Structure 1
Amino acid sequence: MVIYQRVGSREQEEGYSIEAQSRTGHELIRREGLQLAHEPFVEVHSARRAGRPVFERMIAYLRQNPQVGGIVAHKVDRLGRNLGDIAVLFEELQLRPWLVEQSFPDSPEGHLNLSIIAAFAKYFSENLRREILKGQEEKARQGGTGFRAPRLPAPGWSAGPRP
């Protein structure tokens, strides 16, 4: 079993998402009595396109170690938002998905549902990009710049490092 954890930006890396993915992934492994074959693969990279360095390293490891039969992740969209990466994991490598927030039985219906959820993740990413570009174009038409003001913490909160 391997664990793959991903956030899409450095800004998210500074939050708690990776820590939550790690905690819940390890809880799933303990609860199900699974064996971890490698330290977690942790990535800060958008999953919209292929070419994620940590993901590629994980795929190389899995190809060299075919006895690893499954992958743990928070949800399908953490594994990828492009159908090619999902196909490599579940079609080519024949891995079993162990997902914290989703469940797909090893059946034709489970495989169909996984494919549908993966397609929705791809759609979400493409649609979000379109909406962001639309907003940026409108801002430029109105004389704005592509930069945004820095976010300040809410009153009573600190912008300093976590203890």
Structure 2
Amino acid sequence: MVKKTVQNSVRGGLVKALLYARVSSKEQEKEGFSIPAQCKLLREYAAQKQFGIAQEFIDVETAKSSGRTNFNEMVKYLRKHPGVRVVLVEKTDRLYRNLKDWVTLDELDVEIHLAKEGVILSQDSRSSEKFMHGIRC
């Protein structure tokens, strides 16, 4: 799917965030891991936490290996926009399931909000949080 720019979602002094949603396949999307449901959850989370969504990135492909189209576009966006350092995602396995992608985002010093897990990961996270996150990856 093509990434979608969200108009009028960044107002005033809101912290800018990126929204990332993913399903592994069309079949998985039909089984209840729908992109619209993930986006709705993340938009509500953003509103609650007072984030302005700068852009949305959506993939319908597996995360077992690196190279997802819009994940890579999101990484390019983060490199080009150093003022955007927050990524909102439903849960760990929607963002990545391989170590290369985890390391890529970690090196970009982003704050990852895992909305359903109630976890916020950043460079300042406790080592035990990072360890548990590594296990989930």
What's the TM-score once normalised by structure 1's chain length?
Answer: 0.66
SS at match of 1:46: coil
What is the rounded CA distance, in whole Å, between the counterparts of 1:115 and 1:52 in structure 2?
A: 25
What is the RMSD of the two structures over their aligned residues, measured on CA atoms?
1.8
Larger of the two Rg values belongs to structure: 1
Q: Does 1:82 align with 2:84?
A: no
Q: Look up the match of 1:24.
A: 41
What is the rounded CA distance, in whole Å, between the counterparts of 2:121 and 2:75 in structure 1?
A: 23
What is the rounded CA distance, in whole Å, between the counterparts of 2:95 and 2:131 in structure 1?
A: 13
Query: Per-residue deviation at 1:64?
Result: 0.5
What is the rounded CA distance, in whole Å, between the counterparts of 1:119 and 1:83 in structure 2?
A: 10
Equivalent residue pairs, number? 118
Question: Structure 1 residues 70 and 115 mapped into 2: Cα distance closer, same or farther (>3 Å)?
Answer: farther
Deviations 1:65-116, CA, capped at 9 Å, x for gaps: 1110110000111110011111211x2111101121121365442x542442
What is the rounded CA distance, in whole Å, between the counterparts of 2:44 and 2:20 in structure 1?
A: 14
What is the rounded CA distance, in whole Å, between the counterparts of 2:90 and 2:108 in structure 1?
A: 19
SS at match of 1:35: strand
Deviations 1:105-152, CA, capped at 9 Å, x for gaps: 65442x54244234333xxxxxxxxxxxxxxxxxxxxxxxxxxxxxxx
Q: Does 1:95 align with 2:110?
A: yes
Q: Runs (4+) of structure 1 moved beyond 6 Å?
A: none
Q: Using the TM superposition, name which of 100-109 and 47-56 deviates more.
A: 100-109
Which runs of 5 or more structure 2 residues have no equivalent in the other structure?
A: 1-16
1:45-64 map, 5 Å: 45-64=61-80
What is the rounded CA distance, in whole Å, between the counterparts of 1:80 and 1:108 in structure 2?
A: 19
Query: Per-residue deviation at 1:15?
Result: 4.9
Which runs of 5 or more structure 1 residues have no equivalent in the other structure?
A: 122-163
Query: Per-residue deviation at 1:8?
Result: 0.5
Question: Structure 1 residues 105 and 45 mapped into 2: Cα distance closer, same or farther (>3 Å)?
Answer: closer
Q: Look up the match of 1:35.
A: 52
Greater share of strand:
2
Identity of aligned residues (%): 31
1:67-78 map, 5 Å: 67-78=83-94
